Amino acid sequence: MNRQFPIVRMVTGDSAGRQFAGVAAAASAIGLGALAAWDLTQKKHSILRNYPIAGHARFLLESIRPEIQQYFIERNWDGRPFNRDTRTTIYERSKGTHSEHAFGTEHDVDRTGYEALMHSNMPIPNPPRPPRVRVGGDDCTQPYDISLLNVSAMSFGSLSNNAIRALNKGAAMGGFAHDTGEGSISPYHREHGGDLIWELGTGYFGARTPEGRFSPRSSPRRPRTRR
């Protein structure tokens, strides 16, 4: 009698397992049938009406599309506005780990249309006039032909008097524009006659009312400067 108990227990377990499997299969069939009936009767998604049950796989894949794109399809240099290589460098520098990369590139530099700066064994002669780009369309009353290379925005508040003089003199000698930065226009910007781009930043320096609001009628002729 003692030897029969394991057999009885095993048979009883198998019977319960088959019963549970049958109930689970029936519940699954009922659930799928209800889902199919809902897919066929709903009028919001034509994909589900044409492909009941199976059409849900499309929406599932669509929900994880960004992850699929990022981890399986996108290359290290494809992302916008910052690709994987740039993000990796930012992550490493923020954690204080190494952020250097070996010389070389992952780009196909030989493909048609790839843009790069290359050395020339036979440089072409200088043009009679430096190339320029016109800023301002047909509706602009005072268009400006700006140089391709110019002095970037550096505020007078972060530079010395002589630095402003040197930058503007370089702009005058090279025939390009000098961006003032957010610190308005000082007398030192005007000493050498270089073209100026008056930048109106968030502080409205030189172009604001006593209350601190922007004033379109302000003039940079008399800005406050330090001596």
The pLDDT, as a whole number, for residue 192 is: 93
Confidence band of 191 (pLDDT split at 50, 70, 90): very high
Q: Give which of 129, 162, 164, 163 is closest to 147, Cα–Cα.
A: 129
Kindly tell me the sign of the dihedral angle through the C-alpha atoms of 190, 192, 197, 199.
Answer: negative
d(CA 102, CA 188): 44
The pLDDT, as a whole number, for residue 81 is: 85
Which residue type does 12 have? T
Q: Which two tokens stand for residue 97?
A: 């780990």
User: Which range among 6-10, 169-173, 220-224 has the greatest average pLDDT?
Assistant: 169-173
Question: For residue range 81-96, what is the model confidence (pLDDT) as tens digits?
Answer: 888 888 888 888 888 8
The pLDDT, as a whole number, for residue 126 is: 82
DSSP letter for each residue of 90-142: HHHHHTTS-----S--SS-TTSTT-------SSPPPPPSS--EEEES-TT-SS
Residue 225 reports pLDDT greater than 60: no
d(CA 113, CA 96): 37
The pLDDT, as a whole number, for residue 221 is: 52
Confidence band of 210 (pLDDT split at 50, 70, 90): confident
Q: Give which of 203, 152, 155 is closest to 178, Cα–Cα.
A: 152
Which residue type does 123 have? P
Residue 113 reports pLDDT greater than 80: yes
With contact defined as beta carbons under 8 Å apart, do 147 and 172 qualify?
no
Q: Give which of 193, 205, 144, 145 is closest to 169, Cα–Cα.
A: 193
The pLDDT, as a whole number, for residue 209 is: 83
d(CA 105, CA 77): 10
Q: Give which of 190, 191, 186, 192 is closest to 227, Cα–Cα.
A: 186
Question: For residue range 114-146, what is the model confidence (pLDDT) as tens digits?
Answer: 888 878 888 888 888 888 999 998 899 999 999
Q: Which two tokens stand for residue 193?
A: 């006659």
- Which is more confidently placed, 11 or 180? 180
Q: Which two tokens stand for residue 191?
A: 């000493």
Question: For residue range 15-71, what is the model confidence (pLDDT) as tens digits?
Answer: 777 888 888 888 888 998 998 899 899 988 898 899 998 899 989 999 999 888 888
Q: Give which of 120, 143, 129 is closest to 174, Cα–Cα.
A: 129
Q: Give which of 45, 22, 41 is closest to 33, Cα–Cα.
A: 41
d(CA 35, CA 53): 7
Q: Which residues lie across from 145 on neighbouring strands?
A: 134
